[in-house]
Structure 1
């Protein structure tokens, strides 16, 4: 079984990475019960042989399975299945649901304050950073700059507490960004959303800045839902009651 060159189904097939194909294969096997809770997955060497992929590709897929909460890796023992279905991905020290809940309470007011308090130097830093992000070809470098973008918006609010809060969740933000870019193809869309945030800050519009940041977080939430539980992508997240 060679998963190194796969496409999604549908009227317009989308070529997926080898890692995404391996992840989908392993996730499906777990959700079907081929690998039950408590089972140990085959060794890395065996999986590489069966799926005809390299070890780095397989390890990326295994890390994504663990982030989804389906498996746990035990040093010297292997990878074990701990859940039959995906509930809420873990991004470092926080779940994706907890992270999004906090981001809405922090980054929306941050964007509003930044719109009315930003300095020309803040706008210059954000413009240069976003220009670099839009040209960047290395995903790892882009993910690092994505996190810096949100920290820089917090700096533009002129409230050091906001920056400290974003710094605290910096690792989780980076993990989330990498997760969404690898599995959800979010990068170009995210660049457009960042550009809209920057334009609102440059215009000095508190309302537009809050709306642009809210749209950005909405799209993050939607993409996460489509990855984690496609059949329930419209289910509201914790803390966001239906209106």
Structure 2
């Protein structure tokens, strides 16, 4: 490694974060590998240990590294979630809606098979909240969809959806603020909750697809202009 210097307005910590992130994604270390100590990294980069410590803390928070007290810092993942999120932010409305269909149709099917009484209580409360706030309430709509995801009782599914939910929310809020986008179909959302409550996976999957089909059709029509 060469000694680092901050570029332009970028802080030295940000520069170290970028350097370490690049090394992780390029395979410098494999998942499970132990990173060099703070002292070793500081010496290699020609910077202070405090700077290294702060950069490592950022990457731990991002899920790329894991600190184990008394053992050191280990590689948790070489897939950079920040890069994926940046790509998501450049995705179009249709891309995001198609992703939602793929995730939420399967989530609805699983939720119908696995939901418990607590899940049903959350779903009904979320549906009541959506009805109360109206058919342009993006925040209330997202609360309902997250409740469906959580009713799958699949930790991996929930984490993936939570990871993308910020972009989904931004896209939904932007779309619903456009007068050309349709309002939220409250009856379709109620039918989706009913299908999950009835424990009918096939109907729940169809209902989830129906919820998103109208906005998909509208966006496609707008793109074809």
Please give the range of the TM-score, normalised by the shorter of the 2 chains.
Answer: 0.5 to 0.7
CA–CA distance in structure 2, aligned partners of residues 193 and 162 of structure 1: 23
Question: Structure 1 212/138 Cα, relative in aligned 2: closer, same or farther at 3 Å?
Answer: closer
What is aligned with 1:121?
118
Q: Normalising to structure 2: TM-score of the pair?
A: 0.55
What is aligned with 2:104?
107
Q: For residues 52-88 of structure 1, what are the alpha-carbon distances to aligned partners after superposition, in whole Å with 9 as ceiling and x for unaligned?
A: xxxxxxxxxxxxxxxxxxxxxxxxxxxxxxxxxxxxx
CA–CA distance in structure 2, aligned partners of residues 137 and 100 of structure 1: 21
The one of 206, 210, 214 equivalent to 2:209 is: 214
Q: What's the C-alpha RMSD, in Å, of the aligned pairs? A: 2.2
What is aligned with 1:174?
169
The one of 218, 221, 224 equivalent to 1:223 is: 218
- Matched residue of 1:110: which SS? helix
CA–CA distance in structure 2, aligned partners of residues 95 and 163 of structure 1: 23
The answer to whether the aligner puts 1:98 opposite 2:95 as a matched pair is: yes
Maintained 8 Å contact 1:94/1:172? no
Q: Normalising to structure 1: TM-score of the pair?
A: 0.51
What is aligned with 2:55?
none
CA–CA distance in structure 2, aligned partners of residues 159 and 93 of structure 1: 28
CA–CA distance in structure 2, aligned partners of residues 226 and 91 of structure 1: 22
Question: Structure 1 188/106 Cα, relative in aligned 2: closer, same or farther at 3 Å?
Answer: closer
What is aligned with 2:58?
none
Structure 1 residue 138 displacement after superposition: 9.6
Structure 1 residue 228 displacement after superposition: 3.3
CA–CA distance in structure 1, aligned partners of residues 165 and 90 of structure 2: 11
- Matched residue of 2:177: which SS? helix
What is aligned with 1:162?
157
The answer to whether the aligner puts 1:150 opposite 2:145 as a matched pair is: yes
What is aligned with 1:33?
none
Structure 2: runs of 5+ lacking an equivalent: 1-86
For these two proteins, the number of residue pairs brought into alignment is 138
Maintained 8 Å contact 1:150/1:166? no
Structure 1 residue 107 displacement after superposition: 1.5
